[in-house]
Amino acid sequence: MIPTAESPKRHSEPILGGGRRVLVVDDEEGVRTLVREALELWEFQVQEASSGEAALSLLASLPFDLVVTDLRMPGLDGPGLYEQAGALCATVPPFVFVTGDAASQEMRRFLDGVRSPVLVKPFTLMSLREAIESALLAQQLKSTLVEASSAQSVP
């Protein structure tokens, strides 16, 4: 295809799902479906959970490279899922949080503490893509720093 002025702009490097596994957690089926379809288009493997409790069960049984979760859900909410995943998983995957309203002061403190990307509903596919790229890049940088630190400490 020959690019034209009307052609949509594309990222210089496409997001590479490369089969990475993503857990999508939201009590709203429409949001889960939208996120799943976008992630599958970007070549991620996707599992869905409609509650924090169901997500925790999946996290206990399967390794995930990323979690996209609603911040507010009945029962186990996003912060609770994040905290319990930390106790359950040897390596906690990066999280992207989704919210439908302005976060309370308590939620803002939580989000400031975890420094994960946050999407406010309604969000665009471009903002979803950017949040996912940001979370995965941060995790990759963290892993690289840990490896470099370990390599330097070996005599």
| 153, two tokens | 């400490």
Residue 123 lies in a domain: yes
CA distance 19 to 44: 5
| 134, two tokens | 């940001």
Q: pTM for the whole thing?
A: 0.82
Count up the domains in the chain and report the number.
1
Residue 44 lies in a domain: yes
pLDDT tens profile 67-94: 999 999 999 999 999 999 988 877 889 9
Residue 151 lies in a domain: no
| CATH number reported for the structural domain that contains residue 126 in this entry | 3.40.50.2300
| Domain interval for residue 67 | 21-140
39, burial (CB in 10 Å: exposed 0-12, middle 13-18, buried 19+)? buried
Intervals of the chain under pLDDT 70: 1-16, 102-103, 143, 145-155
For residues 29 and 5, is the Cβ–Cβ distance under 8 A? no
Residue 27 lies in a domain: yes
Q: What letter would DSSP give residue 19? A: T
85, burial (CB in 10 Å: exposed 0-12, middle 13-18, buried 19+)? buried
pLDDT tens profile 15-30: 567 889 999 999 999 9
Residue 94 lies in a domain: yes
pLDDT at position 88: 84
